[in-house]
Chain A
Amino acid sequence: MPSPDAPVADPVRPTPWHGQAPVVAVVAVGGGIGAGARYAAALLWPTGTTGFPWTTFWVNVVGCFVIGLFMVAITERWTAHRLVRPFFGTGVLGGFTTFSTYAVDIQRLIEEGRPATGLAYLAATLLAALTAVRLAATTAERVVRTSPAPRREKGKRSS
């Protein structure tokens, strides 16, 4: 199973950047949608007085859960168009979730004299994100195995 950010195979000639323009375009559109959705979440649920960055926490955890479901669905269930993974996995979910804001939030909490909250946020995000992606992937794999596959012969894998 490839990484969500893995390069899309070049369809015709295997020169390094051939056929990448449509991929870069859909990643850009997806990234704009994902970043916009994260900004919307920040406006809807501004970080409260507790100082714990709950909105970024949930954005990252939800994004990790969705990518777990999505990657199993497109690699083991459906034969997706070659632009689906870059658009949704690399673009939308990659643009939605953020590592830089997470890192700056930890630094800010430490700077504000709340190192315990900062470290709790550091550990909680990491644990919740990894748990979410694992839970989503194993759940999706179980569903894929126990139900008949559509649009594909039984036992045949697409990649």
Chain B
Amino acid sequence: MNWVLVILGGMIGAPLRYLTDRAVRSRHDTDFPWGTFAVNAGGSFVLGTLTGAVTAGAADSHLQLLLGTGLCGALTTYSTFSYETLRLAQGGARFLAAANAVASVTAGLGAVYVGLAVARALWS
């Protein structure tokens, strides 16, 4: 059961990242990897909210496996993030590479705190 939930979540999260990235790229023609930035921040927000919901007793371990381990885990990515950062640096855009690293980590962590605050407001 647990495995099914994680794999099912992963099967939803990964294509969501692909489609988000594709939608962002079709609208914005920039070197900055906004698509990956968006899914990493968005997924961190969802996982922060879910963590708050679990702490408040509003979500159980099954939902955590499906949405947290599976969906948010696959929606967000460290491999594409680091590869895109490397490509920016190697392409001469050292400032954009550093900005991507700093902004992604800051936005991800900030999104977790916002998600926790939302969960606290909703379920406490």
Which residues of chain A have a CB within 8 Å of any CB of chain B? Answer: 1, 3-7, 16, 20, 23-24, 27-36, 38-39, 42, 60, 63-64, 66-68, 71, 86, 89-91, 93-104, 106-108, 122, 125-126, 129-130, 132-134, 137
B43 touches A100 (CB 8 A): yes
* CB nearest to B51 among chain A residues: A104
How far, in angstroms, from A20 to B2 measured CA to CA in the complex?
Answer: 30
Q: Considering the complex of A and B, which 7 residue pairs feature the smallest CB-CB distances, nearest first?
A: A31-B14, A35-B10, A99-B76, A103-B108, A97-B78, A95-B74, A100-B47
Decide yes or no whether B3 CB sits under 8 A from chain A: yes
A64 touches B78 (CB 8 A): yes
**Number of A-B residue pairs with CB-CB distance less than 8 Å in the complex they form:** 203
Given contacts A7-B21, A100-B108, A106-B109, 11 further A-B contacts (CB under 8 A): A5-B21, A24-B15, A28-B12, A33-B10, A38-B69, A39-B69, A68-B83, A96-B79, A99-B81, A103-B47, A129-B82
A28 touches B15 (CB 8 A): yes
Q: A126-B101, A126-B105, A129-B82 known; A97 and B25 CB under 8 Å?
A: no
Most chain A CB neighbours (cut-off 10 Å) among B13, B75, B113: B13
Task: State which residues 49-97 of B face A: CB under 8 Å.
Answer: 51, 65, 68-70, 72-87
Q: A100-B40, A107-B48 known; A3 and B84 CB under 8 Å?
A: yes
A36 touches B47 (CB 8 A): no
Q: How far is the CB of B57 from chain A (nearest CB, A)?
A: 17
Q: How far is the CB of A118 from chain B (nearest CB, A)?
A: 9
Most chain A CB neighbours (cut-off 10 Å) among B8, B76, B116: B76
For A35, list chain B residues within 8 Å (CB).
6-7, 9-11, 13-14, 69-70, 73-74
A98: contacting residue among B15, B76, B87, B113, CB under 8 A: B76
How far, in angstroms, from A36 to B48 measured CA to CA in the complex?
Answer: 21
Q: A27-B15, A90-B18, A100-B72 known; A4 and B79 CB under 8 Å?
A: yes
Most chain A CB neighbours (cut-off 10 Å) among B6, B8, B111: B6
B105 touches A94 (CB 8 A): no
B79 touches A93 (CB 8 A): yes
How far, in angstroms, from A5 to B83 measured CA to CA in the complex?
Answer: 10
Decide yes or no whether B124 CB sits under 8 A from chain A: no
